[in-house]
């Protein structure tokens, strides 16, 4: 009996260890499918960032190459009202620029940043795979498929097409292909950084690319023979790690107030908009160590045609969140592409969008100083 008991105990332990090992493997596999992004710890730009993860510092990830969010965040960065309001609470905010939304998500997932800005697809990815709160819309324009010459979508069959994987530009490209009776398997999909696309098109390395502004505008200006062959609506959002938004609701409101002020300030006078455009171009050039071939005026016009052209506040449109609406369709695409786990739940994503906080800020304009404009313009 004693021997049998020892054997049974041994078998039980073995089964537990086997089950535990299997669960670890499943967990690791799911984590890989969730992230599905390269390790950026040794990135030539980001590896130099010194994140401060203490309670008194807010790390905010921006995208200067994402128009017009680059203008908005550059204005926020210089907002003396924001810095003074946070300083009175013993808080400092630091801005870290990234090349694309999935890079923002990588560092949000690591806990290096508290607040991020991303296009619709990166935002959905974050909402599906992390615990975040999306507070406001920060961009609402278009992504475009640009070809080196006038052509029909169906002529892309068998051709090389550049795109940023898992981005809103990726979704635009898939919509374009479908409109011409094509799909991903019928073209050569070439993943690439957005700042490489225009040059690659000119060199004949690709036949077309899909990108957000300002890359299409720069390409059309530099290469008059190029043309837009498809456009689709594109949005961008500001979002927060859920632990941050729940533990620091007042800080979220102060950041939102700075976004609202930035929009009001740029809308109030074109000279303000031109100054913001100049700051944004400088931020792109500092990040990429290259020259952005777009004038201050042209960059400002792109912003005017985007969220600055809206008369309403940057409240997330309820229509975007409906079932089978644009964000839901992009969510389904991300599952199809294995960018998020197939078991991802739309309700989790939907519930990550919270319109109440910005509504509260707008209702308390005096408290949050929405009409006090003081920017460090040096």
Residue 372: strand, helix, or coil: coil
What dihedral angle (degrees, nearest 10) is formed by the CA atoms of 267, 272, 274, 275? -140
Read off the pLDDT band of 334 (50, 70, 90).
confident
Read off the pLDDT band of 186 (50, 70, 90).
very high
Does residue 331 surpass a pLDDT of 50?
A: yes
Does residue 73 surpass a pLDDT of 70?
A: yes
**What integer pLDDT is reported at residue 9 of this predicted model?**
43
**What integer pLDDT is reported at residue 241 of this predicted model?**
98
Q: CA-CA distance, 253 to 263, in Å (whole number)? A: 15
* DSSP category for residue 375: B
Burial class (CB in 10 A: 0-12, 13-18, 19+), 55: exposed
The more confidently predicted of residues 15 and 330 is 330
Task: Transcribe 243-305 into DSSP letters.
Answer: HHHHH-HHHHHHHHHHHHHHHHHHHH-HHHHHHHHHHHHHHHHHHHSS---S-HHHHHHHHHT
Please say whether the dihedral angle defined by the alpha carbons of residues 232, 237, 241 and 245, taken in this order, is positive or negative. negative
Read off the pLDDT band of 36 (50, 70, 90).
low
**What integer pLDDT is reported at residue 303 of this predicted model?**
86
Q: Which of 4-8, 67-71, 275-279 has the highest mean pLDDT?
A: 275-279
Task: Transcribe 43-62 into DSSP letters.
Answer: -TTGGG-----STTEEEEEE
Phi, psi of 160 (to 5 degrees): -85, 130
Q: CA-CA distance, 249 to 132, in Å (whole number)? A: 13
Residue 317: strand, helix, or coil: coil
Who contacts 130 (Cβ-Cβ below 8 Å, separation ≥6)? 105, 108, 109, 241, 242
Name the average pLDDT for the chain: 88
For 121-156, write each residue's pLDDT tens digit.
Answer: 899 999 999 999 999 999 888 899 999 999 999 999
Who contacts 176 (Cβ-Cβ below 8 Å, separation ≥6)? 145, 153, 210, 229, 230, 232
């Amino acid at each position: 009996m004693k021997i049998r008991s020892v054997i049974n105990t041994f078998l039980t332990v073995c089964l537990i260890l086997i089950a535990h090992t299997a669960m670890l493997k499943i967990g690791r596999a799911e984590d890989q499918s969730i992230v599905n992004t390269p390790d950026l710890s040794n990135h030539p730009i980001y590896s130099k960032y010194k994140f401060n993860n203490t309670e008194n510092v807010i790390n905010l990830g921006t995208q200067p190459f994402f128009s017009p969010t680059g203008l908005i965040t550059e204005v926020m960065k210089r907002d003396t009202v924001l810095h003074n309001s946070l300083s009175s609470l013993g808080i400092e905010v630091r801005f870290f620029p990234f090349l694309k939304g999935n890079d923002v998500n990588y560092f949000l997932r690591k806990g290096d940043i508290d607040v991020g800005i991303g296009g619709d697809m990166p935002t959905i990815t974050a909402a599906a795979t992390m615990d975040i709160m999306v507070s406001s819309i920060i961009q609402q324009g278009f992504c475009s498929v640009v070809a080196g010459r006038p052509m029909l979508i169906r002529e892309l069959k068998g051709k090389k097409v550049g795109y940023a994987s898992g981005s809103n530009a990726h979704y635009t490209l898939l919509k374009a292909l479908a409109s011409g009776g094509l799909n991903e398997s019928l073209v050569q999909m070439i993943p690439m950084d957005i700042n490489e696309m225009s040059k690659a098109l000119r060199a004949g390395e690709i036949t077309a690319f899909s990108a957000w502004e300002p890359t299409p505008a720069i390409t059309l200006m530099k290469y008059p023979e190029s043309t837009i062959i498809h456009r689709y609506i594109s949005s961008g959002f500001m979002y927060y790690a859920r632990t941050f938004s729940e533990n620091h609701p007042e800080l979220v409101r102060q950041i939102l107030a700075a976004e609202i002020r930035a929009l009001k300030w740029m809308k109030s006078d074109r000279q303000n908009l031109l100054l913001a455009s100049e700051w944004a171009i400088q931020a792109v050039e500092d990040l990429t160590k290259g020259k952005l071939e777009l004038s201050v005026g042209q960059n400002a016009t792109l912003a005017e045609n985007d969220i600055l052209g809206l008369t309403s506040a940057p409240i997330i449109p309820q229509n975007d969140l409906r079932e089978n609406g644009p964000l839901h369709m992009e969510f389904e695409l991300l599952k199809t592409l294995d960018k998020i786990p197939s078991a991802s739940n739309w309700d989790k994503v939907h519930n990550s969008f919270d319109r109440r906080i910005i509504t509260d800020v707008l209702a308390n304009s005096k408290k949050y100083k929405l009409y006090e404009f003081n920017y460090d313009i040096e």
